[in-house]
Amino acid sequence: MTIEGRSLVFLGTPVAAATVLEHLLTSGFTIEHVVTQPDAKRGRGSALSPSPVKEVALRHSIPVSHDLTWIQQNAERGLFGIVVAYGKIIPTAVLNAVPMINIHFSLLPRWRGAAPVERALMAGDSVTGVCIMDIEPTLDTGAVYARQEVNITEQSTTLSLTAELADAGAHLLVQTLRDGLGSPIPQGQGVTHAAKISRDELRISWTQSAVDIHRRIRAIRAFTEIDGARLRILEAKVEPHSPPVQPGVLLPSGKVGTGEGVLQLLVVQPEGKSAMDAASWIRGRPASASSVFTL
């Protein structure tokens, strides 16, 4: 595939995609048009706000649309699409009319699907990465033009790791476009699927190991329940040398027993309140409060 003489269009929505778009522009690439998801509520209040990608596009005076109509109407002009977390499946008819590549946040064929970063963290992977790939009608099955590994540490969260992947992907994309795409390599064996995170997965089960629960906390908006109210666990750490504690039992120190090992709570968010350090939350609880989380 070649992009020489083609007009670049960019399809993306969240912060990670905005990082890639910004890097393309500062690296001297001209983006003729941007497609992103419609303005939406993105915080407290009822006001609608543009997506991070739209904010970048408007700042650079790039025309923006919220569906694929413009691309379909201008396909004969020799467009070339760059897709990063657009948020919707692109129909086959559009892909047949306009060649497109995608930045995917995993080392394909591992973690095809909607939540590759979260699944890599929850699985305990030590490395992930980015792939620049062809887009096919089937999900994340396209051949790969370039890839780059990114290490996962015990401190990595979905937020921090996504930012690293976006930065790595932006640099890899610019390098690949400048050097020429060349011939892509078909994906090999070892397919795993990164299904969208379900609501049930957000609930912490204290019968799991401390390591697994810690991974879940770093990956998703994990919560538990105590005294009939939800408590989000924002930060925690595994205490490998602590004496055993029964699963779900909360000690005054902020340590919690699990099915295997002990977890130290660091930052929590009580239902209807702002985030706070776990020690302050524990000090503020009434003497009659429960000391056992719902398993």
Confidence of residue 79 (pLDDT cuts 50, 70, 90): very high
What tokens appear for 7 in the block? 């007009």
What tokens appear for 91 in the block? 């129909």
Is residue 196 within 8 Å of 114, Cβ to Cβ? yes
Confidence of residue 1 (pLDDT cuts 50, 70, 90): low
Are 23 and 89 within one domain? yes
Are 186 and 203 within one domain? no
In a domain, 293, yes or no: no
For residue 119, what are the domain limits? 7-194
Confidence of residue 2 (pLDDT cuts 50, 70, 90): low
In a domain, 288, yes or no: no
- Of 169, 194, 219, the residue that ends a domain is 194
| pTM for this model (two decimals) | 0.94
Number of domains in the chain: 2
> What DSSP element (H or E) covers 143?
none
Q: What is the C-alpha separation between 205 and 258, in angstroms, rounded?
A: 8
- The dihedral region occupied by 189, where left means phi > 0, alpha psi between -120 and 50, and beta the remainder, is beta
Are 146 and 253 within one domain? no
What tokens appear for 103 in the block? 């930045």
pLDDT of residue 5: 76
In a domain, 114, yes or no: yes
Is residue 289 within 8 Å of 282, Cβ to Cβ? no
Spatial neighbors of 291 by CB under 8 A, at least 6 apart, are: 249, 250, 251
What tokens appear for 89 in the block? 């499946």
Q: Who has greater pLDDT, 42 or 69?
A: 69
Percentage of the chain modeled with pLDDT above 70: 98
Q: What is the C-alpha separation between 251 and 115, in angstroms, rounded?
A: 34
Give the tens place of pLDDT for each residue, 242-270. Answer: 999 999 999 999 999 999 999 999 999 99
- Of 194, 224, 259, the residue that ends a domain is 194
* CATH code, 143: 3.40.50.170
Are 15 and 145 within one domain? yes
Q: What is the C-alpha separation between 118 and 221, in angstroms, rounded?
A: 10
* CATH code, 212: 3.10.25.10
Are 134 and 230 within one domain? no
Is residue 169 within 8 Å of 105, Cβ to Cβ? yes
Are 182 and 267 within one domain? no
In 10 A of CB 249, how many CB atoms?
15
In a domain, 55, yes or no: yes
What tokens appear for 47 in the block? 């006001």
Are 258 and 159 within one domain? no
Q: What is the C-alpha separation between 271 and 255, in angstroms, rounded?
A: 20
